[in-house]
Amino acid sequence: MSTTIGQILDNFFSPFSVERLWVMPETDNYTTIVRRWQPVIDAVNQAKANLAANCPLWKTSHMTSASWKPGKTDPPATDPNAYSIWVGSPPGTDPDTCREAFIVYAGSIAARAAARALGGVIPPLNSIPLPTVQTWELYTCSIGSFGISATVDNVDCAAKTAKMNIWMYNVMSKKSFGRFASHPAFAASGMEKQYMWWNWSESHTWGSAGSAGGGPGGPGRGTVDW
């Protein structure tokens, strides 16, 4: 089952909010989304460039640790062998952008609640599907700053090939929403930390046989429940 940003936000803003660890594998829709986000593509390409330039070092120092697992840590406790990159406040993650995206999401929740309430009076309304509107901007601005941690599952320096294991990390906290976190509308919100980890693997070839980096294919840009 894929993770939606709505699930994470609902837990974060709930009066009964609890700290939660969200681990999203390669097959998760949210992972597909972040892999297509340019700041993530750029950070992964930076790790790939370092691997190509320092392959022997990666083979001795950046092999994937089989025993490491993600946890509820802030700052992140990554694989001890990881090559790590921190991306601070990439474009589109400012509080104003997130506020606008959240207003759209909250409005769709209110519309669905109203339709359900009216369903008791006008029964046909109960059968009308009203999905919440979770835009691309809501998914990305809710992340804000993030970390990329890269290791190699296997690497052949002579052949210039490797299978990379990528982890991406973010923690959603009251600090994430800046001045809007103190808005009266959120006075009852628990805002407990949400620890978000995404994981995927990438095959990398460099040198004359190498190919340009980039995110995976995926669904086109839309506005409702990516």
Ramachandran sector of residue 144 (left: φ over 0; alpha: ψ -120 to 50; beta: rest) = left
Token pair recorded at residue 51: 């691997």
Is 96 part of any domain?
Answer: yes
Domain, as residue range, for 110: 5-62+86-117+128-205
Output the pLDDT for position 99: 77
Q: How many CA atoms lie within 13 A of 50 on its CB side?
A: 20
Residue 167's alpha-carbon distances to 88, 136, 196, in angstroms, are 16, 21, 10
Residue 145, in any domain of the structure: yes
Q: Per the domain annotation, does 57 fall within a domain?
A: yes
In a domain? residue 94: yes
Least confident of 2-11, 26-35, 36-45, 124-133: 124-133
* Residue 86 confidence (pLDDT) above 80: yes
Task: Evaluate whether residue 92 is within a structural domain.
Answer: yes
- 202 vs 114, residue with greater confidence: 202
Banded pLDDT at 223 (limits 50, 70, 90): very low
Residue 224, pLDDT above cutoff 50? no
DSSP characters for 106-175? HHHHHHHHHHHHHHTTSGGGGGS-------HHHHHHTT-SEEEEEEEEEEETTTTEEEEEEEEEEEE-GG
The reported pLDDT for the residue numbered 106 is: 77
H-run or E-run covering 12: helix 5-13
Amino acid 112: pLDDT: 61
**Does residue 122 lie within any of the structural domains?**
no
Lowest average pLDDT, out of 43-57, 124-138, 150-164, goes to 124-138
Q: Is residue 72 part of a domain?
A: no
Question: Domains in the chain: how many in total?
Answer: 1
Local confidence band at 200 (pLDDT 50, 70, 90 cut-offs): very high
Cα 165 to Cα 78: distance, rounded to the nearest angstrom = 12
How many Å apart are CA 64 and CA 153, to the nearest integer?
Answer: 5
Considering 12-21, 63-72, 185-194, the range whose residues carry the highest mean pLDDT is 63-72
192 occurs within a structural domain: yes
Look at the pTM and tell me if it is higher than 0.85. Answer: no
